[in-house]
Structure 1
Amino acid sequence: MLRMFLKLVPLLFLFLGAAQAQRTTQDVFMMQYFQRRLQELEERVIRCDQDLQTVNHKMYDVSAEVRGQLRGVTALKTEMQGHMENLALRVDRVERDVEYLQNKIPELSEVEIAESVLEEQVKEAKEKKKAAIPQNKDCSSQLTGIKSQKIVKKAGDLNGSWMRDPTKGSSRIYFFSGSRNRTLLEFVSMKTFTDTNWTRMAEAILLPLPWQGTGSVVHDGFIYYHHADTRNEVLKVHLLNRTVVDRMLLPGAGRMPAYGLSPHTLLDLAVDEMGLWAVHADPDFGGNLVLTKLDSNSLSVEHTWDTTCKSDEAEGAFIICGTMYVVYNSQSGGRSTIKCLFDIHDTLLTEEVPSIYFPKRYTSHSGMQYHPKEKQVYAWDDGYQTTYKLDLKKKKQAT
Structure 2
Amino acid sequence: MMLPILLLLLPVLSPALAWIPVEDWESGNVTASVGDSGQCVCHVYVPDTTFPADRVQHMQQVSKDLILEVEIQMDKMVSYEGKLEIYLKELTELTVRVAMLQSSGDNYIKLDFELLRIELREFDALVSQLRDSLNSSSPLFDSLYTEIHNMTLIVNQLETYDKTNLNVIRFEFAKLQKKLEECQKEQDSFKPDIGNCNHTGIMSLSKPMVVQVNAHLNGGYQYGGWGKDSKPVRGYESMYFYGAYSTPHVYDFYLYSDYEKLILRSNFKHHHLPNGWEGTGNNYIVHGNTIYYQHNTPFGMTKLNLTSSKYDSRVIPAASQRFSYRYADNQNLDFAADENGLWVMYASEESMGKIVLAKLDEKSFGIADEWNTGAYKELAGNAFMACGVMYATRSVDLNTEEIFYAFDTKTREEKQLNIRFQKFQEKYTNLDYNPTEQKLYMYNNGYYVSYNVKFNRE
TM-score range, shorter chain: 0.5 to 0.7
Q: Name the aligned partner's letter for residue 389 of structure 1.
A: N
Aligned match for 2:213, one of 146, 154, 157? 154
Contact conserved, 1:255 with 1:283, CA < 8 A, in 2?
Answer: no
Structure 2 residues without counterparts, runs of 5 or longer: 1-194
**How far did residue 348 of structure 1 move?**
5.4
**How far did residue 373 of structure 1 move?**
1.4
Cα offsets for 1:156-202 (capped at 9, x unmatched): 4101111111212611110021231321111111111112xx1x545
1:278 equivalent to 2:336? Answer: no
Superposition pairs of residues 153-172 of structure 1, within 5 angstroms: 153-155=212-214, 156=216, 157-168=221-232, 170-172=237-239
Q: Distance in 2 between matches of 1:252 and 1:333?
A: 34
Query: Compared with structure 1, are the counterparts of its residues 192 and 341 closer, same or farther at alpha carbon in structure 2 (3 Å cutoff)?
Result: same
Contact conserved, 2:323 with 2:353, CA < 8 A, in 1?
Answer: no
Query: Compared with structure 1, are the counterparts of its residues 227 and 312 closer, same or farther at alpha carbon in structure 2 (3 Å cutoff)?
Result: closer
Superposition pairs of residues 144-223 of structure 1, within 5 angstroms: 144-155=203-214, 156=216, 157-168=221-232, 170-178=237-245, 179-195=248-264, 198=265, 200-208=266-274, 209-223=277-291
Q: Distance in 1 between matches of 2:399 and 2:377?
A: 17
Superposition pairs of residues 37-116 of structure 1, within 5 angstroms: none
Q: Name the aligned partner's letter for residue 252 of structure 2.
A: T
Aligned match for 1:140, one of 185, 198, 201? 198
1:379 equivalent to 2:442? Answer: yes
Cα offsets for 1:307-341 (capped at 9, x unmatched): 011113211111001101001127x8442111111
Q: Distance in 2 between matches of 1:393 and 1:188?
A: 33
Contact conserved, 2:250 with 2:282, CA < 8 A, in 1?
Answer: no
Structure 1 residues without counterparts, runs of 5 or longer: 1-136
Cα offsets for 1:120-149 (capped at 9, x unmatched): xxxxxxxxxxxxxxxxx9533421111232
Aligned alpha-carbon RMSD (Å): 2.1
1:224 equivalent to 2:282? Answer: no
1:235 equivalent to 2:302? Answer: yes
Residue aligning to 1:369: 432
Aligned match for 1:300, one of 353, 366, 382? 366
Q: Distance in 1 between matches of 2:393 and 2:281?
A: 17
Q: What TM-score do you get using the length of structure 1 for normalisation? A: 0.59
Q: Distance in 2 between matches of 1:261 and 1:360?
A: 13
Q: Distance in 2 between matches of 1:138 and 1:268?
A: 24
Q: What is the number of residues matched between the two proteins?
A: 251
Name the SS for the 2:329 alignment partner. coil
Q: Name the aligned partner's letter for residue 139 of structure 1.
A: C
Q: Name the aligned partner's letter for residue 167 of structure 1.
A: K
Greater relative contact order (Cα 8 A, min sep 6): structure 1 or 2?
1
Q: Distance in 2 between matches of 1:210 and 1:167?
A: 24
Name the SS for the 1:144 alignment partner. strand
Name the SS for the 2:208 alignment partner. strand
Name the SS for the 1:312 alignment partner. helix
Name the SS for the 2:319 alignment partner. coil
Name the SS for the 2:436 alignment partner. coil
Percent identity of equivalent pairs: 24
Query: Compared with structure 1, are the counterparts of its residues 203 and 180 closer, same or farther at alpha carbon in structure 2 (3 Å cutoff)?
Result: same
**How far did residue 344 of structure 1 move?**
0.8
1:345 equivalent to 2:410? Answer: yes
Q: What TM-score do you get using the length of structure 2 for normalisation? A: 0.52
Residue aligning to 2:327: 261
Query: Compared with structure 1, are the counterparts of its residues 201 and 311 closer, same or farther at alpha carbon in structure 2 (3 Å cutoff)?
Result: closer
Residue aligning to 1:328: 394
Query: Compared with structure 1, are the counterparts of its residues 219 and 290 closer, same or farther at alpha carbon in structure 2 (3 Å cutoff)?
Result: same
**How far did residue 254 of structure 1 move?**
2.9
Residue aligning to 1:44: none
Contact conserved, 1:317 with 1:327, CA < 8 A, in 2?
Answer: yes
Contact conserved, 1:159 with 1:177, CA < 8 A, in 2?
Answer: yes
Query: Compared with structure 1, are the counterparts of its residues 238 and 211 closer, same or farther at alpha carbon in structure 2 (3 Å cutoff)?
Result: same
Name the SS for the 1:285 alignment partner. coil
Q: Name the aligned partner's letter for residue 388 of structure 2.
A: G
**How far did residue 260 of structure 1 move?**
2.8
Q: Distance in 2 between matches of 1:357 and 1:202?
A: 37
Cα offsets for 1:259-318 (capped at 9, x unmatched): 233222111001111111001122332311110001011111111111011113211111
Q: Distance in 2 between matches of 1:230 and 1:334?
A: 37
Contact conserved, 1:222 with 1:236, CA < 8 A, in 2?
Answer: yes
**How far did residue 207 of structure 1 move?**
3.0
Q: Distance in 2 between matches of 1:201 and 1:279?
A: 30
Query: Compared with structure 1, are the counterparts of its residues 146 and 341 closer, same or farther at alpha carbon in structure 2 (3 Å cutoff)?
Result: same
Contact conserved, 2:208 with 2:423, CA < 8 A, in 1?
Answer: no
Contact conserved, 1:212 with 1:229, CA < 8 A, in 2?
Answer: no
Query: Compared with structure 1, are the counterparts of its residues 284 and 385 closer, same or farther at alpha carbon in structure 2 (3 Å cutoff)?
Result: same
Q: Distance in 2 between matches of 1:210 and 1:170?
A: 27
Residue aligning to 1:107: none
**How far did residue 369 of structure 1 move?**
1.4
Cα offsets for 1:337-361 (capped at 9, x unmatched): 111111111275414xx41111242
